[in-house]
Amino acid sequence: MDALVQAIRDPHFLTYAFLVVAVGLALGFEFVNGFHDTANAVATVIYTHTLKPTPAVVWSGIWNLIGVLTSSGAVAFGIVALLPVELVLNIGTSSGFAMVFSLLVSAIVWNVGTWYLGLPASSSHTLIGSILGVGLANSVFGPEHTVTAGVNWVKAQQVMLGLMVSPLIGFGAAALLLIAAKVLLRSPELYQAPKGQKPPPWWIRGILMLTCTGVSFAHGSNDGQKGMGLIVLILVGILPGTYALKMSADHHTVTSLAAEAGELASVFDKVAGGNKIEKQGANDILSAYIKPTGKFTQDTFAALAGACDDIRERLQNSETFQALPASERGDVRTDLFLISKTIRKLEQKGHLEEAGVVRKDARAMAQHSEELTNFIPDWVKYSVALALGLGTMIGYQRIVRTVGERIGKEHLTYAQGASAEMVAMGTILLADHYGLPISTTHVLSSGVAGTMAANNSGLQMATVRSILMAWVLTLPVCIFLGAFLFAAALNGLALIGLK
């Protein structure tokens, strides 16, 4: 037993064990997301007999892959922005492991439970609820002992707005689209339910294939990013020498960043009245400021000047990030992260204008910092896409059956399926553009319900009530699970001597 404890405490063992477990959990979440959320994309083509289940799932998986590979990363780092700042900066510590473990396990548990019951609940709600739970627990058990410090409530409100409004948009827009189609497209077969196993006419089949493709692509470009953001965060914490910075950045980019940092260091130093703050103190001040409850003081500008000067010193003799010592890359990322977050908050609060700082120069520094830290390696994208695709192929039946059979009282018609999926595709792509993580499940399920209402097909209220109950319970349950597992993980790690 003593030997086992010693092996567990070995730094190298812990490093690689954490890496394997954490990445495995993130891919496990995306695998569950595949048969939980991606199934929505194939429900309409399967239930209108446009495609058989196997080719439908394979086709959807291919377009999920394309969506993941072409995604911007905005949603991925929008999710990361919800995490407690101190845990993001110390992801390689035991508390960072506790965070990743608790939020991913709680999300997976709830997703598997609702999938087993055939309820199309939201993986987005699940993950965000778990993150909020971790943030709350971290605040309560941290030095501040408050429920407000550890959660970015502004960002959480933006995300929650998207998650709450998207089902309403799905219901209303799909209903209106079906009504418009009935007025403009006078083809009777479009509004009929499939007969037996006979596929629809070729042109209807083409429309349904197009909408399935669009939803699959949009799902990959939005939902696929959630796991990617967490995997990148894990890699940065465990292997900062390799993943802390965008190593492919060219000489011009790196030297320009050093010059920008030097110029802003002088500007912020003048604003701070020449007040000098040593590096660790500067990091502590900026970390505290960018928290939701962080307060502005004149030391904020002094700390910002120190961080910018540190960037200048480290990069002035390095033509590329490859030339920068591996041991310093994590520190450079931390500086860039704190600088970009601080500048964004100062600009939002109006403090840059008050101090006479040129907003354009400060904003450029923040943008360049984000471009060099918010990147996703290609292998991460492929891994997530594979996990999504495999999950879709293995467990799609339960959710597909609910969407196709149990929402409306009548069988889904071709026009209903196309309308629901066109709205889902458009809504998700719009959210992707603005970096908002919304729920494919909510939009498509609401869209199907909207078409049923518009078509006077009737709704199976028992199913609708069950789905709504799952939606309502997802956040509070996952907040509780995330908080409970985080506290339990911290206590467990403390028992074996890991702080």
pLDDT bin (cut points 50, 70, 90) of residue 143 is low
Phi-psi region of 145 (alpha: psi -120 to 50; beta: other; left: phi over 0): left
Q: Which SS3 state, helix, strand or coil, does residue 192 take? A: coil
Burial 385-409 (b: 16+ CB within 10 A, else e): bbbbbbbbbebbebbbebbbebbbe
Work out the angle at residue 159's Cα, subtended by the Cα atoms of residues 156 and 160, and round it to the nearest 5 degrees: 85
Query: Above 80 in pLDDT, residue 209?
Result: yes
Select, from the ranges 171-185, 377-391, 433-447, the one with the highest average predicted confidence (pLDDT).
171-185
Question: Per the confidence metrics, is the pTM higher than 0.75?
Answer: yes
In 299-361, beta strands by DSSP E:
none
387 close to 32: Cβ distance less than 8 angstroms: no
Mean pLDDT of 69-76: 78
Query: Above 80 in pLDDT, residue 55?
Result: yes
pLDDT at 155: 62
Burial label, 191 (beta-carbon count in 10 A; 0-12, 13-18, 19+): middle
pLDDT at 196: 75
pLDDT bin (cut points 50, 70, 90) of residue 342 is very high
pLDDT at 471: 77
pLDDT at 18: 81
Hey, where are the domains in the chain? 13-237+377-495, 247-373
The partner residues of 270 in beta bridges, in order of sequence, read none
pLDDT bin (cut points 50, 70, 90) of residue 145 is very low
Residue spans of alpha helices (H) in 199-278: 202-222, 224-238, 240-243, 251-271
Query: Above 70 in pLDDT, residue 320?
Result: yes
Task: Give per-residue pLDDT as tens, 357-370.
Answer: 667 888 889 999 99
Query: Above 80 in pLDDT, residue 258?
Result: yes
Distance CA 52, CA 35 (A): 17
Distance CA 10, CA 27 (A): 26
424 Cβ neighbours under 8 A, 6+ residues apart: 40, 170, 215, 218, 440, 443, 444, 447
Query: Above 80 in pLDDT, residue 90?
Result: no
Average pLDDT in the chain: 82
413 close to 137: Cβ distance less than 8 angstroms: no
pLDDT at 310: 92
Query: Above 70 in pLDDT, residue 5?
Result: no
pLDDT at 481: 93
pLDDT at 421: 86
Query: What secondary structure does DSSP assign to 41-106, as a single string?
Result: HHHHHHHTTSS-HHHHHHHHHHHHHHHHHT--SHHHHHHHTTS-HHHHHTTTSHHHHHHHHHHHHH
Mean pLDDT of 261-270: 89
Query: Above 50 in pLDDT, residue 323?
Result: yes
Query: Above 80 in pLDDT, residue 498?
Result: no
Taking alpha carbons only, the member of 27, 25, 59, 28 closest to residue 42 is 59
pLDDT at 4: 46
pLDDT at 2: 56
Distance CA 112, CA 403 (A): 17
Taking alpha carbons only, the member of 29, 39, 31, 35 closest to residue 448 is 39
Top pLDDT among 192 and 162 is at 192
Query: Element (H or E) spanning 347, and its range?
Result: helix 326-349
Select, from the ranges 32-41, 284-293, 425-434, 437-446, the one with the highest average predicted confidence (pLDDT).
284-293
Question: For 175-184, 239-248, 271-280, 416-425, which range has the lowest pLDDT when averaged over its residues?
Answer: 271-280
Top pLDDT among 463 and 270 is at 270
